[in-house]
Amino acid sequence: MINDDRIQLALPKGHMYAAVEQLLGDAGLAVQGNGRNYRPVCADDRFELKILKPQNIVRMVELGSHDLAFAGYDWVVELGAAIRELLDTALDPVCLVAAAPQELASDPAFFRRRLLVASEYETITRRYLDGRDADYLFVRSFGATEVFPPEDADLIVDNTASGRTLRENGLAIVATLLRSSTRLIANPSAMDGPKGQTIAELAMLVQAVLDARSRVMLEMNVAGDRLPAVLAVLPCMRKPTMSSLSDGTGFAVKAAVPKHQVVRLMPELKAAGATDILEYPFSKVVL
């Protein structure tokens, strides 16, 4: 491990980077880059940042070159790394799938023939095919795996968000092997050492942002005699916050509610007797 009091935090290069950068910024840890610089600066100088390819991040955390990182769960599984997962950000969700040309995928005898298989994920691919007692030859790909079939592979194992690229290349999904997303991972020794508290604080702030993104604040006025009916409808994290109105005729009530329930809640709260209903976002939720 690098002999530095600062936390060595690795960020993923490529399509995952923008979402992680926004997440850190919302957590109060703004990332300041300068174009092609692989060593951006964090607004909190306790953290030293470096951008790495997703395929390399997990092993670097395991080896102790970095204390902490945002990494795809697919590479955690592929490498079998001895790291500690702190939280699932649910960002950049993908599925790791086995796919084949459509005319082959529908053939019942497909897995009884000798297969040429291409993937970046050798461990996961071999585990899947060995579990099917398949006869195969594995070829490692280095990106653009979907272009291998049909000339250079009978089957591929690759990640996909929507399946569109697979369909555009005439491929059909044979099986879903893994669901992945961006995880916050740490080196166990760093977590158990003097850096552990700072790492835990970062994880708490990130989780607070993620929780806030899934909720909104609802605020409303409720007459005293309608309060029980409104509270029966209103979900909240624990209990709603209430204060008496200035004229003593009712209450101001507010609660953080799941964002996806708002479209249903608004009419129900109105019908139960709530008035002057306001909805607004907030930036963090610490439970």
Reported as a single tens digit per residue, the pLDDT across 132-151 is 999 999 999 998 999 999 99
Task: Give the pLDDT band of residue 36 (cuts 50, 70, 90).
Answer: low
- Alpha-carbon Rg for the chain in angstroms: 25
Task: Give the pLDDT band of residue 157 (cuts 50, 70, 90).
Answer: very high
Task: Give which of 213, 197, 99 is closest to 145, Cα–Cα.
Answer: 99
- Looking at residue 109, its pLDDT comes to 87
Condensed to tens digits (0 to 9), the pLDDT of residues 45-100 reads: 999 999 999 889 999 999 999 999 999 999 999 999 999 999 999 999 999 999 99
- Looking at residue 22, its pLDDT comes to 95
Q: Is the pLDDT of residue 112 over 70?
A: yes
- Looking at residue 207, its pLDDT comes to 95
Q: Give the angle 188-93-21 at the CA atoms, nearest 5°.
A: 65
Beta bridge partners of 116: 137
Amino acid at 53: K
Condensed to tens digits (0 to 9), the pLDDT of residues 172-183 reads: 999 999 999 999
Task: Give the pLDDT band of residue 8 (cuts 50, 70, 90).
Answer: very high
Task: Give which of 96, 79, 71 is closest to 173, Cα–Cα.
Answer: 96
Q: Is the pLDDT of residue 2 over 80?
A: no
How much of the chain exceeds pLDDT 70, in percent? Answer: 97
| Angstrom distances, CA of residue 238 to CA of 198, 255, 256 | 28, 9, 9
- Looking at residue 264, its pLDDT comes to 94
Task: Give the pLDDT band of residue 20 (cuts 50, 70, 90).
Answer: very high
Task: Give which of 94, 95, 283 is closest to 207, Cα–Cα.
Answer: 283
What domains are there in the chain, each with its CATH number? 7-91+181-212 (3.40.190.10), 95-180 (3.40.190.10), 215-280 (3.30.70.120)
- Looking at residue 34, its pLDDT comes to 63
- Looking at residue 1, its pLDDT comes to 44
How much of the chain exceeds pLDDT 90, in percent? Answer: 81
Q: What are phi and psi of 30, to 5 degrees?
A: -60, 140
